[in-house]
Structure 1
Amino acid sequence: MSAAAVQSGAATEADVVVPARTAPTTRQRALVVLRWGLVVLVVAAASWQVVRQWGDVSEVLAQVNVLSAVLSFLAVVLGLGAGAKSWQTLLDDMGPPVGAARGSQICLVGQLGKYIPGSVWAYLVQMELGRRYGVARARVFAASLFAAGVGVVASLVLGIAAVPVMLQGGHQELLWLFLLLPLGLVCLHPKVMTWLASLVFRVLRRPPLDHTLRVSVVARSFGWALLSYGLFGVHLWLLANSLVDPGLGAILLCAGTMAIGFTAGLFAVFLPSGVGVREAVIVGTLTTTMAAGQATGMALASRMIFTVGDLLVAGLAALVAVVVVRRRAGQDDPADEPVAPDVVTQRPAS
């Protein structure tokens, strides 16, 4: 433990003394191979989604204005970045900040795991990437769970705008999602979130949080989540605006549609990235302004744009993180850096 940590009477993740570099053991080599294997698997799964859908999507994209398509893609990229900020805001309040470069890599690369059937993969990849940077798996797991919960509440708040269209389009079966809104709002209370975080840590045999999550932290995370879904709504509106004139007022409707689509897909745990569920919600909304065939094509185009966006932001995040690590390590290979112990440490007493 560092001298500063001894004087303050508490340790942080950054205070862990790193031993002299030694040759990696067989177990460490196996873990490195496993981590890279997971990354390759999820990237391959996401890439396959693009290849598989290209034939259907290319016909629709040919009808979309080039500028609208570019702006729509940009809105998705910005929305994904806002979602990552929502996640990192929670993660940083549970321990020493990880930094934007490393936080983005953990979140954005890790979330590619959603393209593998079974919702556990995204969490697993994020935990392993976090572990790579010495962030406790329990801390990453708790942040991911909370970010998902914050996202669900934000999506339901925006989704209220899409309720009339859901009723008109025959998607009454999705209305049960709004039963989660009161419970979600209660769970957003900082004291409740702190209790839940400590519960997760206790189950995983880690020390509980030594402080209550702040209201400002939860509010910032919620705000980033709202912005993320709002940008996704702009993405859908720009696509639709290439074929019809939905009007500026439809931006909120599109945001609510995308938000509900994402939340509904979240519960389809056996489908990769909720494929099919989100598209059904989008088609139900767009058929109020365009033909069913066009709406279906738009939904598929939206899916492909998101997949390409996921791959792009993950690649950029990984590249930036590697550059930052290499600079700090004096051009040493980051793959050879020792990993800090997997602990959830507490903040120094103020």
Structure 2
Amino acid sequence: MTGQDAAGPARNTVAEGRGAWGRVLRAGVTVVVLGAVGFALWSALREDGPRVLDLFGRPGAAPLLLAACAANIAGLVLGMASWRALLADRIGPAAGARIFFLGQLSKYVPGRVWGVLTHVGLGRRLGVPASRMVGAYVVSLGVTTLTGAAVGLLVGPAVLGRHAFWLLGPAALVVACVVRPGILHGALVRAARLLRREEPAPAPGTRKALVVATVSWLVSGLHLWALLLLCGADPVAGLPVGVGAFALATVAGSLALILPDGWGVRELVLMAALATVVPWSVAGVVAVASRLVCVLCEVLTSLTALGWARLANT
């Protein structure tokens, strides 16, 4: 065997070793994060948790819970509209709902590849090229992350107080991207080059997608405000914190790629933000209730989208 022939198996062995260590590291980080979340929830709920949970069973709780679900569903529908704008509405509403909401469910599996595969596979059936679907998916991630982080700045005044003026800089960046969508596309292209991935194609509807995505975050965050009201939070102080905390926590969870739908990370960020307007025990209950509302609404919208697409024969 020549030296060149022997190098191949050696490289494969090293690659397999690195892959094994990577899997062990990801598993270890997952256990640590989930353990931290479990401890945080336990510390929050061990004393006042049962008392706070009783609030969800009181007679006046039903309207607020229904309002929370309605706000979350409306936010999801607006999110779909933002994504369709990046495809210049080449896909009809029924087919778009089917692709978008099935892709949403894929986030419960670690990694981004499943969402991309869902979009590409279903888009191909409608005659949309894979490159176009991948490009819209990547740009949509950038749009939702940027706008979610911007809406998350609403938490800033409660946390930073008189130093909240520092948040004007990030807010100006979002405004700049709306005025000049090429800024966002350029950033995504540079990120793709850095990660050695295919560069996303320019999306003609980026400006519309940014605006609609921002509205989507504002609307969907109202579900957290409704839950805060149910638990007795001050309506005025709770509104910006609830809306901003949901956007900030969801973005933070989406960046934790090793955890399905950011389980754990989202709850920790939510609790830390909500603790500025409610006690720690109430923040823990609201974080758990928010997760349950979001999962329920995502399942309901996905089932509705499938039924709509079947009736429309798409």
**Shared fold (TM-score, shorter chain, > 0.5):** yes
**What aligned pairs does 1:1-350 form with structure 2 within 5 A after superposition?**
59=53, 61-62=56-57, 65-92=61-88, 97-167=90-160, 182=173, 185=176, 189-192=180-183, 213-214=203-204, 217-325=205-313
Which residue type is aligned with residue 321 of structure 1? A
Give the share of equivalent positions with the same residue, in percent: 27
Change (3 A) 1:152 1:322: same
In the TM superposition, structure 1's runs of 4+ consecutive aligned residues that sit over 6 Å from their partners are 178-181, 194-200
Name the SS of the counterpart of 2:127 in structure 1: coil
Give the deviation of 1:309 after TM superposition: 0.8
Change (3 A) 1:320 1:71: same
Q: TM-score, normalised by structure 2?
A: 0.70
Q: TM-score, normalised by structure 1?
A: 0.63
Question: Per-residue displacement from partner, 1:275-321 (whole Å, max 9, x unpaired)?
Answer: 11121122112223333222111101100110111111111111111
Q: Indicate if the aligned counterparts of 1:162 and 1:256 stay in contact, CA closer than 8 A.
A: yes
Change (3 A) 1:182 1:220: closer
Name the SS of the counterpart of 1:117 in structure 2: coil
Question: Per-residue displacement from partner, 1:26-57 (whole Å, max 9, x unpaired)?
Answer: xxxxxxxxxxxxxxxxxxxxxxxxxxxxxx99
Q: Indicate if the aligned counterparts of 2:238 and 2:277 stay in contact, CA closer than 8 A.
A: no
Give the count of matched residue pairs.
255
Which residue type is aligned with residue 189 of structure 1? R
Q: Indicate if the aligned counterparts of 2:99 and 2:122 stay in contact, CA closer than 8 A.
A: yes
Question: Per-residue displacement from partner, 1:108-142 (whole Å, max 9, x unpaired)?
Answer: 11111000122322222222222232222221111
Question: Per-residue displacement from partner, 1:173-211 (whole Å, max 9, x unpaired)?
Answer: xx99x87984995598344566789998xx769xx96xx
Mapped partners of 1:183, 1:238: distance in 2: 27
Which residue type is aligned with residue 310 of structure 1? E
Which residue type is aligned with residue 318 of structure 1? L
Structure with greater helix share of residues: 2
Q: Indicate if the aligned counterparts of 2:237 and 2:277 stay in contact, CA closer than 8 A.
A: no
Mapped partners of 2:302, 2:84: distance in 1: 15
Bigger Cα displacement from structure 2, 153-162 vs 71-80:
153-162
Change (3 A) 1:241 1:258: same
Mapped partners of 1:138, 1:118: distance in 2: 20
Mapped partners of 1:156, 1:149: distance in 2: 11
Bigger Cα displacement from structure 2, 99-108 vs 186-195:
186-195
Name the SS of the counterpart of 1:228 in structure 2: helix
Give the deviation of 1:255 after TM superposition: 1.4
